[in-house]
Amino acid sequence: METVRFIMIGVGGMGREHIRRLLQIPEAEIVGLADPSAAAVEETKKRFPGLADVPVYTDYQEAIERANADAAVIVSPHSMHFDQGMACLNGGLHVLMEKPFVAGSKNAERIIEHAETVNKHLAVAYQRHLAGPYIYIRNLIQSGELGKINYICAYQAQSWLMGTTGTWRQNPALSCGGQLNDSGSHLLDIVLWATALEPESVSAFIHNRGSQVDIDSAVTVRFREGAIATFNIVGSASISWCEDVSFLGEKGTVLYRNNRILVAKEGQREAVEVPANELPASSDPNRDFVDLLLGKVTEAAAPASCGLNIARLTEAAWESAANGSQIVRI
């Protein structure tokens, strides 16, 4: 394989971001657009004139059967991911799926097992795995320079409630959850990925702020290795975005502050900012997935197992909050 031929399932806002990135990859080609929304397709072809002659399908099954593709990128409402992903795998396609993977851990287990059975790659578009600042953090933690990680404090604030009003993201039948399951899943994922810690138990408070889905979440996690983490996910914020994550180890500390990295290694009392030119280069899930299919890397930056881990953790948080914040074991 010299060129990877993709169908896009879902060409709304995030779908167009995947298209933008794929069009920058010489070894990638988009051979089909699948979306029932004529308006979304029209906007996509308007933004990307090079796709003018690419076939359009209102039925993703038809795209799978007729587009002669090698892989699919799935960027539809979350409740559709499982069925669409299974159909793609059955149609002989590799699958890159937008977060938060599929609805529920049981479906995650089923689709991962099926991908292994049909020998196809299945990955999740958790882009922080390919962001230089977070790669730096993970490498620092995994090197042992900070010692055993004892505590993590992760905070994310976004005007998610206001920004998603009237959209499918606040419809539980389509979204399968709110802020914790959407932007918040990135926060849960990056902590688990960077530390490689295994959650043992969860306790959570959640407020819907008048929505049908979770908006603000305070989640505490105890890990089997002894570490404790707090996740503070605020979807009712007035600000557009803020993300802070602190990793505190026995020997040192690393702080993520909205794309800035500060580190205090053993013996240092003050955290010092790491210059941007010392951070690893960033990439994106589309480039990574193409490299995977071309054999340039042996594993996706965010394999499907990451989606399964987050599904289990999110389900435990929802269960805890629904039962008076009781501790739920994973």
What's residue 243's pLDDT?
Answer: 97
Distance CA 133, CA 141 (A): 13
**Parts of the chain with a pLDDT under 70:** none
β-pairing, 122-124 vs 94-97, is parallel
Distance CA 170, CA 162 (A): 10
Residue 272 token pair: 């010092």
Determine how many CB atoms are found less than 10 A away from the CB of residue 259. 12
What's residue 1's pLDDT?
Answer: 73
Q: List alpha helices for the chain, DSSP H.
A: 13-22, 38-47, 60-66, 81-90, 105-117, 132-143, 160-163, 172-175, 183-195, 285-293, 304-322
Kindly list the structural domains of the chain, giving each domain's residue range(s) and its CATH number in brackets, ordered by start.
4-127 (3.40.50.720), 128-280+300-329 (3.30.360.10)
Distance CA 281, CA 76 (A): 29
